[in-house]
Amino acid sequence: MARYITITLEKRGVTARARLLDAEAPRTAEAVWQALPLKGDVFHGKFARNEVYTLVPPFAAEEPGGENQTVTPIPGDLCYFTFEGVLSNPAYGYETGAGTNESRTLIDLAYFYGRNNLLLNGDVGWVPGNVFGTIVEGLDELAAASQDIWMGGARGESLVIERAGEE
């Protein structure tokens, strides 16, 4: 039975539907599913190109570790990243409290809406992400709203991830 989630840009009123990749990334899909609903401030990728993400505190009972990883996500991919301390560098431009926590570990939940993405960071090198889901409905609308975030700014926008059921 497939499990589905929704990805919503709250202020822009755009929602896409995604299928969890339970067979390919079972630990990550389950960790995300158990943590839902999740909501956080939106950020647009600087290095990866066509990426929108939110930063949340760790939520998994046990870190899923690497599975179904990529450094070249395609449109519609949902990725999970764990960052420990690296994003606290002021050069990244995150405001105090932007998804931060006392342990300095952050979970980055991202979706990719266009082609030619490359998960390479000049400071740390390759940054593989766990692909745990794929957008199956609403990618075109989400991509247009994401392009508006890139050109118009992310301030005040929230990313909401919720369960959409099982089929």
CA-wise closest residue to 111 among 30, 38, 27 = 38
How far apart are alpha carbons 4 and 140 in whole angstroms?
18
Over residues 93-102, mean pLDDT: 51
Over residues 48-63, mean pLDDT: 95
Say if pTM beats, i.e. exceeds, 0.75.
Answer: yes
**7-16, 34-43, 88-97: which range is least confident on average?**
88-97
> Is 3:19 a contact under the CB 8 Å cutoff?
yes
